Amino acid sequence: MAGEVRRQMIEGAVQLLARRGLQGTSFSEVLELTGAPRGSVYHHFPGGKDELVGAAVDTAVAQVVAFLDRKEGAPAVEVAEHFFTAWRLLLTRSGFQAGCALVAVAVATDSQELLDRTAAAFDAWRLRLAELLERGGLPPAAATSFAAVLLAASEGAVVICRARRSLEPFEKVTAHLLDQIRAASNGTG
C-alpha cells in the first residue's frame, strides 16, 4: 500500500508538471490530485519537492521509453509516427493544457541536480529514438541526427500548439519530418 501511494504521488507530479509547470507542482497540489494522506509527503519524499520532482522525471522517462518500445523493429517512419502520436494525444486529450513534464523542470528549476537529471532524461529519450530509428532502417548517423531533431522539433511544436490552442504547428512539423525520414529510409534501400 505504501508503495502504491508513492507511485500515485509521482504520477500525479508528472501530470501537474505537464499541466502547471514546476511552480504549480506543490505537495499540496499533488495531495489534492491523488488523494494521498498529508503524512505521506515526508514519509515518501524526505528530500522534499526536489526528490518528488526527480522521481517524476524518472517516471516520465520510463513511460516514454516504454511507449517507444512498442515499435521495436518497425520501420523508421512508423517509429517517428508513433512518437508524434504520443504528443498529439497529449495535446488533444488535455485540451492543449499539457505539455512536457521535462520541459517544465528544465526551464524553471534552480537545482543543478534536477537540471542534470532532466538532461539525462532527454538523452535517454533521444538515444532510444536513435536506436529504434536505426533498427528501422536508417543509417546510424542519420538515426542519431533524426532522433535529436524529432525530440527538439516536437518539444518546440508542443509549446507553440499550447499557446495557439491548435495542432497546426505540430502537424506541419510532423509532415515535414516524416517526409525527410521517408526520403532517408528510401536512400538506404
How far is the CA of 29 from the CAs of 10, 20, 57, 76, 124, in angstroms?
12, 10, 17, 40, 28
Rounded to whole angstroms, the Cα distance separating 169 from 104 reads 20
Contact 87, 160 (CB under 8 A): no
State pLDDT tens for residues 122-175.
999 999 999 999 999 999 999 999 999 999 999 999 999 999 999 999 999 999
C-alpha cell at 116: 542534470
pLDDT digits (tens, 9 = 90+) for 103-113: 999 999 999 99
Where are the extended beta strands (E) located within the chain? none
**Longest alpha-carbon distance in the chain:** 59
Helix (H, G, I), strand (E, B) or coil at 7: helix
pLDDT of residue 2: 63
Taking Cα atoms as reference points, which of 7, 14, 9 lies closest to residue 104? 14
Query: Does 78 score more than 50 pLDDT?
Result: yes
Residue type, 153: A
What type of residue sits at position 140?
A: P
As a whole number of angstroms, the distance between CA 163 and CA 97 comes to 9
> Got the DSSP string for 149-181?
HHHHHHHHHHHHHHHHT-SHHHHHHHHHHHHHH
pTM of the model: 0.92
Q: State the pLDDT at residue 83.
A: 97
* Pair 57, 102: CB distance under 8 Å: yes
Quick one: cell of 46? 524526505
% of the chain beyond a pLDDT of 70: 97
Task: Dig out the grid coordinates for 115 from the structure.
Answer: 537540471
Question: Taking a C-beta distance cutoff of 8 angstroms, is the pair 144, 109 a contact?
Answer: no
Domains along the sequence of the chain with CATH: 2-188 (1.10.357.10)
